[in-house]
């Protein structure tokens, strides 16, 4: 039985974010192999975190910059360590190397934060993205972490190309893993066109691209409602801050609903999902949820990026404000157009998101790398070089903080 240690950036919240749902699908896949799985994180517990014990997954609270992790990981001796985002590899990777040198190291990137950062910077300055944007400090840290690991899980086909073509990462270090959907749970039938009403958007308010999307939608909404005066726009999402609830405007039909007990219930009642995303990375959980509930959507090129391959989009992908407004109105009004868009949902899900196909490929890839780990690492000289130099500075900084904290406790 393989022993798996997953070091999480946060506790999994599958009902709050796409990242949480994606992480849970990976944890469940590991359990299906009859592997022993433990989830450890320095994060604080949250209201919406999943009960891992119900999934037969053990959990452990760990601390940043603390030698207690050394004793913990040395005792656990995992065969595989999966880091949730590159920050966890930065913090704990050198400790894993020291105490479990033969453990297979994997990063689940969730999305490329350097890509999101680059796009956000360009948007704030109201200009096109440039090559200099991609050379940000986050990119240097994120790519270095990818190179230090044996395998990185990349959720988007666009990001796979970005890593290999722009950053020249060896494809042997990457594995494309989109959202994994259990096709057997897909609804056979959902409400038809006349049984649905209103627009919907959903997303964790703590995620910057989602919040920007809400503000942008607030700008677009009056022009949509002017043509569809009886419609409402329902905005759902976990952790709405006061600045979000302040946008609630029943008179205008712009409603901040906040937490949704069941995203599929609210998605299946809506006629059209709106996702006017102006920056971001990875795949968009709200648009996957819309496909699952056969709800057509209107989004941007960034919203649809990496999500549909050669398959037709179940709705409209638009490039400017005027086209977004026009597409939203036409898709909401035109039953024939709506039904045609809806018909694209199932083929897309079956073609790109089948959990059986994706899960089998991931486990095979992990087993192949583990079987040839020594050769795999010999072929990754850049990663070995980064461990030697970059991680030394990270290690010494962490050890200094640990010693400083210990000294402070002694003085008390």
Eight-class DSSP state of 354 = B
Number of H helices, E strands in the chain: 18, 13
Does one domain contain both 247 and 286? yes
Domain count for the chain, please give it: 2
CATH number of the structural domain spanning residue 325:
3.40.50.2000
Of the candidates 329, 352, 375, which is a domain's last residue? 352
**170-223 pLDDT per residue, tens:** 999 999 999 999 999 999 899 999 999 999 999 999 999 999 999 999 999 999
- Spell out the per-residue pLDDT of the chain, length 412, in tens: 899 999 999 999 998 899 999 999 999 999 999 999 999 999 999 989 999 999 999 999 999 999 999 999 999 999 999 999 999 999 999 999 999 999 999 999 999 999 999 999 999 999 999 999 998 999 999 999 999 999 999 999 999 999 999 999 999 999 999 999 999 999 989 999 999 999 999 999 999 999 999 999 999 999 999 999 999 999 999 999 999 999 999 999 999 999 998 999 999 999 999 999 999 999 999 999 999 999 999 999 999 999 999 999 999 999 999 999 999 999 999 999 999 999 999 999 999 999 999 999 999 999 999 999 999 999 999 999 988 765 566 666 676 677 667 666 665 5
- Cα dist from 102 to 71, 80, 210, 345, 373, whole Å: 17, 9, 40, 43, 8
Of the candidates 352, 375, 393, which is a domain's last residue? 352
Does one domain contain both 13 and 57? yes
Does one domain contain both 223 and 363? no
Domain around 307: 188-352
Does one domain contain both 150 and 9? yes
Does one domain contain both 125 and 62? yes
Run of H or E residues at 82? strand 80-84
Does one domain contain both 160 and 199? no
Does one domain contain both 281 and 401? no
Closest C-alpha among 279, 278, 276 to residue 287: 276
Q: What is the CA radius of gyration of the chain?
A: 22
Eight-class DSSP state of 59 = E
Please list the alpha-helical segments (H only) found in 270-333: 285-292, 301-304, 321-333
Does one domain contain both 100 and 166? yes
CA separation for the pair 327, 341 (Å, rounded): 12
SS3 351: helix
Of the candidates 319, 352, 385, which is a domain's last residue? 352
Does one domain contain both 103 and 193? no
């Amino acid at each position: 039985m393989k022993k798996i240690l997953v070091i999480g950036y946060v506790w999994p919240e599958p009902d709050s974010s796409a990242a949480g749902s994606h992480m849970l699908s990976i944890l469940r896949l590991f359990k299906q192999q009859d592997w022993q799985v433990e989830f450890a994180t320095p994060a604080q517990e949250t209201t919406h975190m999943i009960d891992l014990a119900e999934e037969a997954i053990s959990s452990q609270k760990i601390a940043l910059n603390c030698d207690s992790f050394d004793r913990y990981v040395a005792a656990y001796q995992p065969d595989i360590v999966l880091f949730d985002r590159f920050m966890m590899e930065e913090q704990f990777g050198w400790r894993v190397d020291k105490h479990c040198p033969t453990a297979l190291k994997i990063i689940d990137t969730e999305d490329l934060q350097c890509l999101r950062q680059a796009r956000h910077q360009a948007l704030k300055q109201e200009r096109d993205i440039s090559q200099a944007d991609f050379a940000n400090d986050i990119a240097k840290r994120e790519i270095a972490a990818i190179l230090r690991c044996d395998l990185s899980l990349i959720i988007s086909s666009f990001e796979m190309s970005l890593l290999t073509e722009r950053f020249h990462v060896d494809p042997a270090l990457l594995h494309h893993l989109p959202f994994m959907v259990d096709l057997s749970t897909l609804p056979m039938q959902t409400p038809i066109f006349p049984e649905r009403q209103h627009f919907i958007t959903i997303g964790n308010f703590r995620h910057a691209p989602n919040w920007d999307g809400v503000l942008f939608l607030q700008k677009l909404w009056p022009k949509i409602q002017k043509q569809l005066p009886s419609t409402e726009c329902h905005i759902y999402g976990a952790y709405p801050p006061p600045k979000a609830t302040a946008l609630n405007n029943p008179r205008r039909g712009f409603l901040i609903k906040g937490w949704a007990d069941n995203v599929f219930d609210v998605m299946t009642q809506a006629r059209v999902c709106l996702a006017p995303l102006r920056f971001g990375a990875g795949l968009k959980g709200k648009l996957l949820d819309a496909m699952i509930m056969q709800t057509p959507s209107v989004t941007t090129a960034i919203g649809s990026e990496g999500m549909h391959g050669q398959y037709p989009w179940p709705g409209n992908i638009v490039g400017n404000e005027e086209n977004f407004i026009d597409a939203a109105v036409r898709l909401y009004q035109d039953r024939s157009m709506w039904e045609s868009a809806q018909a694209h949902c199932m083929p897309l899900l079956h073609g790109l998101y089948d959990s059986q196909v994706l899960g089998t490929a991931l486990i095979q890839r992990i087993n192949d790398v583990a079987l040839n780990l020594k050769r795999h690492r010999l072929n990754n000289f850049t990663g070995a070089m980064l461990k030697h130099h970059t991680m030394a500075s990270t290690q010494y900084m962490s050890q200094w903080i640990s010693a400083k904290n210990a000294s402070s406790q002694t003085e008390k």
